[in-house]
Structure 1
Amino acid sequence: MMDSVAGFLFDPDIEGPLCFFFTTISISIILLILFFTFLSIKVDGKVSWSLGVVFIPIWIVDLVIFGVLVAQTKKEPTEDDENDEEFEDDPGIREQAREKRRQQQRRLHRIRNFLAIAYVLLVFTFQILIVLRADRVIIWSAAIVFIPYFIIETINMYPNIIEYIVILRTSRVYDNDGFPSLKLKIKMFFETFWWLLIRVTLAILIVLRIDKVITLSWGIVFLPLYLIGLRYALWILWQCRLDGNTGIKLSSILIPVFIVLSLFFCCTGCCLPLIFLNGIGDDLEGSAETSLISPDKRITYPTVAGPSSSFARSSNDTV
């Protein structure tokens, strides 16, 4: 990638992380395809595996994500020295401001990493509880199994609350006369929290249906998804399969999922890496070889003005 025509536009240190990113995404997509394949043959009765075996690809993805997050915690946050210009006249004040800002960045960095790791651990715990409950290793109610999920949605609620508070301070909630409008506030609340409400409602209905608190059809349980227009045919087939209709195979229902994941795998595993490796195109002057100059020498490399040696020789020959 760095030897291409557009190589000088890229940071020389980005090639390694970029290749690692493409490799990680490609492996994750392969593991997801394996998971849905295992789940299909398990639900369709082709194999007698436990769900613990079916979830192995998902758990590998979780471990990879967890490892990346742990490695991220060991990195120091990047410092922004742009605000130091206002304290140029006083080095002492500038150093104090820089140290204060550095402490704030470190604190935010630790909080952000802690929340990310807690999020992944909650997802992992929720998956384990689902497997144990489905394999009848534990006989807990679905309400207890779904506790990690509801904690996750509580964490997801925090950015929505911040976004809604910011919206309330803008002019988007004022009517044409410049006064706060209750109707606009309700509208903005719905636009901010609608997807969160649908997810929580769906989770509650699933819990009640699994615990047999309600005996409604699975088609009615998945009604919140129908309200947002998500692939009616796909979810109707899914609820029929959950109601015990063995004539509909799960592998047929998941065909769109396999197609989408395969396309993503082709992009991350083949197309995008080749695009970055080949560059924009061949050089107009030919296939002249270029050497990569160290970033430290790009700025300090001296330039000498004057005619080239070939030009001097041609001048001497003319004389």
Structure 2
Amino acid sequence: MAGQQQAGGFPDLASLPNRDFYGVLDVARDADAEAIRKAYRRKALRCHPDKAGQDPATVELFQLVQRAYDVLSDPKKRQVYDKYGERGVLMMDQMGNVLPFIDPDFLLAMNTFFTVGSLVAALLIVFPAFVSVRADRKVTWNWGVVSIPLFLFDACLLLGLWMIRSQGDKAADANGQEDLDDDEYDRGETEQQRKDRRRRKSRRASGDAFVRWLLFLLFQIFVVLHLDGSIDWSWGVVFIPWFVIEVISFIGKIGLIAKTFRRGHSPPLVFEPGQDAEAQAPMRPFSGAEKALFVYDTFLTTVVRLAQLALVIAKINGSLDGVAWGIVFLPTWLWSGFKIVGIFLDRWMILRDVRRQAHGQKVDMGPLVVFRIVSLLVVSFFLYLGAGLLVRRLDGDSGKPSAAVILIPVFIVCGMLFCCFCCCLPCLLCCMQKGLEAELSAEEDAAGGAPVNLQERRITYQAIDDPRSRR
């Protein structure tokens, strides 16, 4: 029995039933599956319409017994029922995609995510702490010991890749054909061929991620061996795995650009009454300026990062002995300026398209631009604070500031991540659960408006007597 719909498509909770299925089957709340099955058979045989009659009360009772058994015999539905009541089960069936935290499987996945995220954030705090005490010569550990938290972080990444890979085929089978790109989708394919195509696409993505992980691990090993003096390679050779990762990323971005240009450009929507969304924003070829801006946005960070790495390696190897470290970090200093230029160019392109669709109407994009610039400034603050402190130490001979001070931005960011995974996000999810539980399982007292105790209040089903007893 579905509830009436409120505005926005949400059901009216007051109209949803909230019956006591344990009372319907006459079993204890901690009854096992076998006891529930036996109780259902006993009740169903007693009130089956073929045996007890076809009057509406008998039919209603039989349907209710079937509904109770359907919920209590399903472990997931029973878990939701015990927490939220029948309304929670109905909400999970009707709106599980909108309110996923009703689903116990989703909660288990989120708890695992929070736990692993907290562990990873903790490792990201411990590793720079080890680096700082080793760089300041407060301990004499070799760099292999210092890098233990980093290698544990790599193990967590590998575990995550394995979990994604194990679920890849299932997710690919579950996704619809709309997940395929237009140039990959062949309308003559069968459903099995589409599933195979999605599975291959998922495996390619997971294989690419594993190759990157392996190269990243190899780079870390080379750095540790070089710092410990086990190898005497130049830093250019040590960084080869990292440059291979950059090449793979560069090739992937080229493929993304080519695919995007083939698909065409969809300008921002300007909603007008009576117009279809597709008619408002038809796909069209990119202009020359739009192609240049897209390439600029796609490759800017990669180019700046490669230039910075090349200058740092040349400086460490002695090729730039007469150049100060402040000049070596010039690409880093210029990065935020390039990003701001890209933001305003992108704003100009969007405004041009919107004004064409809106027939000269004034469009205000100020808040969006301000948000993007503020976000960029926050990231730049942490980046430049750490880079500036590092330059000051490298250009000086006093060994100050200490490595712990230089890594303060890293500690701040990782500490914020740890707080989010360990406290903020779990608390937010818990508050959402408690709010839904209160809304589904409790009602306000009609006299005083005070909420009823959730542990004591449950709308119960008054069992219909056996129809034969009324005859």
TM-score, with length taken from structure 2: 0.54
Could you tell me how far 1:67 is from its partner in structure 2?
A: 2.1
CA offsets 1:143-183 (integer angstroms, 9 cap, x no match): 1111100111112113422332245343589xxxx997545
Change in Cα spacing, 1:126 to 1:172, as seen in structure 2 (3 Å) is same
Change in Cα spacing, 1:289 to 1:45, as seen in structure 2 (3 Å) is same
Choose 1 or 2 for highest CA Rg: 2
Shifted more, 8-17 versus 190-199: the winner is: 8-17
**Matching of residues 265-304 of structure 1 within 5 Å:** 265-278=418-431, 279-281=433-435, 282-283=438-439, 284-285=442-443, 286-289=452-455
2:173 aligned with 1:61: no
Aligned residue in 1 for 2:226: 133
Mapped contact 1:206–1:221 kept (Cα < 8 A): yes
Change in Cα spacing, 1:239 to 1:269, as seen in structure 2 (3 Å) is same
CA offsets 1:62-82 (integer angstroms, 9 cap, x no match): 011112212433333331475
Aligned residue in 2 for 1:43: 135
Could you tell me how far 1:233 is from its partner in structure 2?
A: 4.1
Aligned residue in 2 for 1:11: 103
The separation in 2 between residues aligned to 1:105 and 1:166, in whole angstroms, is 17
**Among residues 16, 19, 23, which one is paired with 2:115 in the alignment?**
23
Could you tell me how far 1:98 is from its partner in structure 2?
A: 1.9
Mapped contact 1:126–1:145 kept (Cα < 8 A): yes
The separation in 2 between residues aligned to 1:98 and 1:263, in whole angstroms, is 45
**Among residues 160, 185, 188, which one is paired with 2:291 in the alignment?**
185
CA offsets 1:8-62 (integer angstroms, 9 cap, x no match): 4322211211111100000111111110111111111211111111111011010
CA RMSD of superposed structures (Å): 3.2
Question: Which segments of 5 or more consecutive residues in structure 1 lack a partner in the other structure?
Answer: 85-93, 291-307, 313-319
CA offsets 1:216-250 (integer angstroms, 9 cap, x no match): 22222211111123334432221122234412111
Change in Cα spacing, 1:186 to 1:102, as seen in structure 2 (3 Å) is closer
Could you tell me how far 1:311 is from its partner in structure 2?
A: 11
Equivalent residue letter for 1:287: N
Change in Cα spacing, 1:172 to 1:143, as seen in structure 2 (3 Å) is farther
2:394 aligned with 1:242: yes
**Secondary structure of residue in 1 paired with 2:104:** coil
Change in Cα spacing, 1:11 to 1:210, as seen in structure 2 (3 Å) is same
The separation in 1 between residues aligned to 2:175 and 2:166, in whole angstroms, is 22
2:142 aligned with 1:142: no
Shifted more, 185-194 versus 14-23: the winner is: 185-194
Question: Which segments of 5 or more consecutive residues in structure 2 lack a partner in the other structure?
Answer: 1-78, 93-98, 179-186, 268-283, 337-379, 444-451, 466-471
Could you tell me how far 1:133 is from its partner in structure 2?
A: 0.9
Equivalent residue letter for 2:325: W
Aligned residue in 2 for 1:258: 411
Mapped contact 1:77–1:105 kept (Cα < 8 A): no
Change in Cα spacing, 1:197 to 1:172, as seen in structure 2 (3 Å) is farther
Mapped contact 2:114–2:421 kept (Cα < 8 A): yes
The separation in 2 between residues aligned to 1:150 and 1:51, in whole angstroms, is 22
The separation in 1 between residues aligned to 2:413 and 2:175, in whole angstroms, is 43
The separation in 1 between residues aligned to 2:300 and 2:142, in whole angstroms, is 36
**Among residues 101, 111, 114, which one is paired with 2:204 in the alignment?**
111
Change in Cα spacing, 1:242 to 1:17, as seen in structure 2 (3 Å) is same
The separation in 1 between residues aligned to 2:416 and 2:291, in whole angstroms, is 41
Aligned length: 282
**Among residues 282, 301, 326, which one is paired with 1:219 in the alignment?**
326
**Among residues 49, 52, 68, which one is paired with 2:144 in the alignment?**
52
2:314 aligned with 1:208: yes
Mapped contact 2:115–2:422 kept (Cα < 8 A): yes
Q: Percent identity?
A: 32
Q: Identify which of structures 1 and 2 has the higher relative contact order when contacts are C-alpha pairs closer than 8 Å and 6+ apart.
A: 1
The separation in 1 between residues aligned to 2:198 and 2:266, in whole angstroms, is 31
